[in-house]
């Protein structure tokens, strides 16, 4: 007879989405067990969001020290203690993981290490680390929250030392003198920032004509300019023809706009492959549950994150783009409430914010200028450069901008785009404004504290109506007859 344990709900995966689902289920009185083959917190807490931001903070502090002379401080140049930085990063990760474990205990969530796979629609076998297997049966539901993993390119086989992915890069085993970053997306630019701050000479190769593909083009160009100013070399419209290991690292051949369409050979100590992530469902035996992924590897879900099989839910990266921790977190609570019988709980955001933790940061929410035009909107745009911000100047941080995209006919905010220190926090104002249906006039009329970076959002809104005080206003565009701001 098989060893079987009955619970109300099973959550497969203990990352941001999984632990949110498990904790919320516990709060709602459900007997829940959460599985993960790795550590509590998943990629985000252990190899992604948290440790990378710790490293970015270290790099930011190092930059401030190097630039201290600009604000009248005489400070010796920083020297990176690799082991000390690693110890700091590990302590941050340990504290966060420990916090989730405590929340599991406080909310009666059982956690078990192991490889989970379906043996039926609501039956899951857990192969434990000691080699034994235990079968769990869920009376109510199973939540799939197995996340994603870096895309591996067969032509450039990863060895974890010379050709690495983002999981390797966060370990900071060594600080190379030269680094090739393949991919100019979020992950590529964040690690380009980290390693540049640590003293590496970095080249980012991106096949597309802009970094952060899909981001507002003006924001993308501005960020690329700032990174180049900081010493990051960026090759746009350029492909990696070949990559081979050498005795001292790797030899790369690149070709494209950056090389005037000619092959150019460069050598680096390390190459980071940052070409995207893929959903992880490989070992789940989905067929036994009656499930199948689409051509991109995702599971189809409805507004409550239900799959096509009754009683099985999918959240986070396995449920489709955007592959973001905060999206997974919201989906986790929605799924948990739906399982507990809340028919009104649904995942229906107006927009999901996206943040890039470069230095300065990039944060966006809603439509870009290009997307809004493609959707047929007549636009009203407001911009405010950090160069005109008194608070930014006091911080010696005047490289960046705020850009608001509005509908000229209704004045409704359509999108907010920020390049600034703390952009990841500032963008919250845009999220609330979009969710509440705020107009540019609403934002401009709201008194913001002075001197702050957030008042630059107010200034950008005022600039959209040619009413800004701290910048020269653009000439107002004529408003269509019968339309305009409220």
Using one digit for the tens of pLDDT, what is the confidence trace for 176-218?
999 999 999 999 999 999 999 888 999 999 999 999 999 999 9
Q: Note the pLDDT tens digit of each residue in 48-63.
A: 889 888 988 998 998 8
Whether 470 sits among the annotated catalytic residues: the reply is no
Which residue, chain included where needed, has tokens 């997306």? 185
pLDDT digits (tens, 9 = 90+) for 420-438: 999 999 999 999 999 999 9
Q: Indicate the average pLDDT of the chain.
A: 94
> Which of 31, 90, 44 lies closest to 317, judged by CA?
44
- 333, pLDDT greater than 70: yes
Q: Is 167 exposed, middle or buried (0-12, 13-18, 19+ CB in 10 A)?
A: middle
Lowest-confidence region among 36-45, 103-112, 158-167, 409-418:
36-45
pLDDT of residue 273: 96
pTM of the predicted structure, to 2 decimals: 0.91
Instruction: Please tell me the least confidently modeled range out of 75-84, 246-255, 467-476.
Output: 467-476
What pLDDT band is residue 478 in, cutting at 50, 70 and 90? Answer: low
Q: How confident is the model at residue 479 (pLDDT cuts 50, 70, 90)?
A: low
What integer pLDDT is reported at residue 456 of this predicted model? 97
* Contact (Cβ atoms closer than 8 angstroms) between residue 382 and residue 462: yes
Arithmetic mean of pLDDT, 121-142:
94
Structure confidence at residue 41 as a pLDDT band (50, 70, 90): confident
154 in Cβ contact with 176 (< 8 Å): no
Q: What is the pLDDT of residues 144-182, one digit of tens each?
A: 999 999 998 999 999 999 999 999 998 877 889 999 999
Query: Helices in 246-389 by DSSP H: which ranges?
Result: 325-339, 369-374
User: Is a pLDDT exceeding 50 seen at residue 486?
Assistant: no
Percent of all residues in the chain with a pLDDT value above 70, rounded to a whole number: 97
Q: Find the mean pLDDT for residues 64-68.
A: 91
pLDDT computed for residue 480 by the predictor: 59
pLDDT at residue 1 is higher than 70: no
Domains and CATH numbers, the chain: 4-150+278-339 (3.50.50.60), 163-275 (3.50.50.60), 354-464 (3.30.390.30)
Angle between helix 325-339 and helix 16-27 axes, rounded to 10 deg? 30
Task: Give the mean model confidence (pLDDT) for residues 89-100.
Answer: 92
User: Quick one: average pLDDT of 370-374?
Assistant: 98
Which residue of the set 20, 448, 450, 465 is catalytic? 450
* Partner residues linked to 278 by β-bridges: 149
Per-residue pLDDT band at 80 (split at 50, 70, 90): confident
Across 311-324, average pLDDT: 96
DSSP β-bridge partners for residue 10: 33, 142
The owner of tokens 């490989």 is: 282
What does the block give as tokens for 82? Answer: 């690799």
Q: How confident is the model at residue 485 (pLDDT cuts 50, 70, 90)?
A: very low
- Give the Cβ contact number of residue 188 at 10 Å: 25
Q: So what's the pLDDT on residue 48?
A: 81
Res 483 pLDDT > 70: no
* pLDDT (0 to 100) of residue 481: 58
Report the run of H or E that residue 204 belongs to, with start and end.
strand 201-205
What does the pLDDT read at residue 436? 97
Provide the 10 A C-beta neighbour count for residue 304: 18
Helix, strand counts (H, E) of the chain: 14, 22
Is it the case that residue 29 has pLDDT exceeding 50? yes
Q: What is the pLDDT of residue 39?
A: 86
**235: Cα within 13 Å, side-chain hemisphere:** 25
């Amino acid at each position: 007879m098989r060893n079987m344990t009955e619970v109300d709900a099973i959550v497969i995966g203990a990352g941001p989405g999984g632990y949110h689902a498990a904790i919320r289920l516990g709060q709602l009185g459900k007997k829940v067990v959460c599985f993960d083959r790795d550590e509590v917190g998943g990629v985000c807490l252990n190899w992604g969001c948290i440790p990378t931001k710790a490293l970015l903070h270290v790099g930011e502090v190092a930059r401030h020290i190097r630039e201290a002379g600009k604000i009248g401080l005489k400070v010796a140049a920083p020297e990176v203690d690799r082991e000390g930085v690693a110890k700091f990063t590990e302590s941050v990760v340990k504290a966060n993981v420990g916090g989730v474990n405590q929340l599991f205990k406080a909310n009666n969530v059982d956690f078990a290490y192991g490889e989970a796979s379906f043996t039926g629609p609501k039956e899951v076998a857990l192969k434990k680390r000691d080699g034994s297997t235990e079968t769990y049966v869920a009376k109510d539901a199973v939540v799939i929250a197995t996340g994603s993993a870096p895309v591996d390119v067969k032509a450039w086989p990863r060895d974890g030392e010379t050709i690495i992915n983002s999981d390797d890069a966060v370990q900071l085993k060594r600080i190379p003198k030269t680094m090739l970053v393949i991919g100019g997306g979020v992950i590529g630019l964040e690690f380009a920032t980290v390693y540049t701050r640590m003293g590496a000479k970095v080249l980012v190769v991106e096949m597309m004509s802009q970094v952060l593909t899909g981001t507002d083009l003006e924001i993308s160009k501005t960020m690329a300019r700032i990174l180049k100013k900081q010493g990051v070399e960026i090759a746009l419209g350029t492909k990696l023809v070949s990559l081979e290991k050498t005795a001292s690292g790797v030899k790369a051949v690149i070709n494209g706009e950056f090389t005037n369409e000619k092959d150019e050979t460069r050598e680096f100590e390390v190459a980071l492959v940052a070409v995207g992530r893929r959903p992880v469902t490989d070992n789940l035996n989905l067929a036994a549950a009656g499930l199948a992924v689409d051509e991109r590897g995702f599971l189809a879900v409805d507004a409550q994150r239900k799959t096509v099989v009754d009683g099985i839910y999918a959240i986070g990266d396995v449920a489709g783009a955007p592959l973001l921790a905060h999206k997974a977190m919201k989906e986790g609570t929605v799924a948990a409430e739906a399982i507990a019988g809340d028919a009104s709980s649904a995942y229906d955001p107006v927009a999901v914010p996206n943040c890039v933790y470069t230095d300065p940061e990039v944060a966006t929410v809603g439509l870009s200028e290009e997307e809004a035009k493609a959707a047929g909107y007549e636009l009203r745009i407001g911009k405010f450069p950090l160069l005109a911000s008194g608070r930014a100047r006091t911080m010696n941080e005047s490289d960046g901008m705020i850009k608001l995209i509005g509908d000229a006919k209704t004045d409704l905010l359509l999108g907010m785009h920020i390049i600034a220190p703390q952009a990841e926090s500032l963008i919250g104002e845009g999220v609330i404004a979009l969710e509440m249906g705020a107009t540019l006039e609403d934002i401009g009329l709201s008194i913001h504290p002075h001197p702050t970076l957030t008042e630059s959002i107010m200034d950008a809104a005022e600039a959209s109506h040619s009413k800004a005080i701290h910048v020269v206003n653009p000439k107002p565009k004529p408003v269509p007859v019968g339309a305009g701001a409220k």
